[in-house]
Amino acid sequence: MAYLIRRGAFYYLNLRLPKHLFPRCNTLRLSLNLRSRQPATFLASSLAQRIHSHLLEHPLADLQTLRTLCVGWRDATPAPAIRSVVRSPSAISPKQVIDSPTLGTLSKRYVEEGKRGGTWREVSTHEVERSLRDLFELMGDMPIAAFDANQARLLKDRLSRCPQYFGLRPEFKGKTLLQVVESGSTYKTVTAVTVNNRLRKLSAFMNWCKTNGYIQDNPLTGLKMMTGSAKEARLSFEQHDLTTLLDLDALKTEARKHPWRYWIPLLGRYTGARLEELCQLRVDDFVEQQGIQCIRVDDSSEGQNLKNASSRRMLPIHPSLIELGLLRHVESARASGGHRLFPELEPVRGKLGHAPSKWFGRYKAKRGIDDSKKTFHSFRHTLIDDLRDAGVQDSLIKRIVGHEDSAVTFGVYGSRTPLKAMQEALEHIKSD
């Protein structure tokens, strides 16, 4: 158990360690460099939780190593986070804080329950765990009762200053995420959309804590970054972009090692489908319905996931894709005995689109397109713009791209997919 002692003007952590691991000396004492009891209580609880987690992974750690780690954790804990709790008008008593379970303890219960109950898909689990990891890296662990509105605002601020690709940037090697965020350095930060995604995942965790009686209110409710529209976040491709990106000779060169590099950009252009929807296609997703060759976007097979129920749809295959030999490629994949159209793709954090996304970023830069707002998803925006310019009804466009539609005609009365109308609409998309 961890508890505080006071020596002179300062509080100390006094942590009893497991005797079977530390038979000679099982007490770790460390100055917290704090004069006030309440922030000292928060810090002591956080350090105790981190030591406990470290011992679970490294049971042979010696006392000096633990002491060194504690000093680093203590010094990395930002003073503003502690002071903000002290200034909070709804500050709770030290006893309430001590009796309150920590965020670390509750997050483990939350994740275990989500996995056990089958609540989350694999992708969702990775996203939840990533968001929780950001929480602890930026805020440290603390009793759930100590995480109030001030802490929530501080978390939002720090999330907004997180760098893109933190783990892959060589200049950040050896630094913690918090050290980078508080360094004042100049770098490209994550988007507001990413921040809000993290906050939504963490708010769901806080709602679970509230539902289970650990807190009375969720301090993250309604907290988000202001953003522009999705159209502002990603731009459509211009005609010269499409001509450059869909150059067949260039794609064939890129596809010498990986055939999917040829087909996925073309599929993106002529279907408007999401990258993950394309990467997880199976050979039996290519079917004929109502006399029309179609692609079935579905999640009925293992390894297939969709964004939402509206994403489940039938897509007529554009004539250009047929002319380019897509169906022959499908039959070749089927004859080889495989099930997936692109079997060489391997999931990374539950997503088959990881490698294609990275490759496409490099490919478009190589082709002279360096606008960060133009991504693979821009194919989707481009198709929507082209269909609207051609006068196609919004309800039909939504059918094609898998957007929810509450229109009476298709949403209530229409049970049969209007494939003929969708086919005619897609024929407005001309070869580039």
pLDDT in tens, 113-168: 888 876 666 667 788 888 999 999 999 888 888 898 889 999 999 999 999 888 77
Domains of the chain and any CATH numbers: 1-77 (no CATH), 100-227 (no CATH), 233-426 (1.10.443.10)
Res. 29: pLDDT tops 50: yes
pLDDT greater than 70 at residue 389: yes
State whether residue 14 is helix, strand or coil.
Answer: strand
For residues 93-119, give the mean pLDDT. Answer: 76
Average of per-residue pLDDT across 186-203: 89
Which DSSP string do the residues of 160-224 spell out, in sequence order?
HTPBTTGGG-GGGTT--HHHHHTS----PBPPHHHHHHHHHHHHHHHHHHHHTTS-SS-TTTT--
Q: What is the predicted pLDDT for the residue at 304?
A: 83
Kindly tell me if the per-residue pLDDT of 43 is higher than 50.
Answer: yes
Rounded to an integer, the average pLDDT of 364-376 is 92
pLDDT-based confidence at residue 416 (cuts at 50, 70, 90): low
Task: Determine if residue 183 is left, alpha or beta; phi over 0 gives left, psi from -120 to 50 gives alpha, anything else beta.
Answer: alpha
Backbone φ and ψ of 78, nearest 5°: -70, 135
Are 264 and 279 spatial neighbours (Cβ–Cβ below 8 Å)?
yes
pLDDT-based confidence at 227, cuts 50/70/90? low
Query: Looking at the predicted structure, is the pLDDT value of residue 64 above 80?
Result: yes
Residue 341 has pLDDT above 70, yes or no: yes
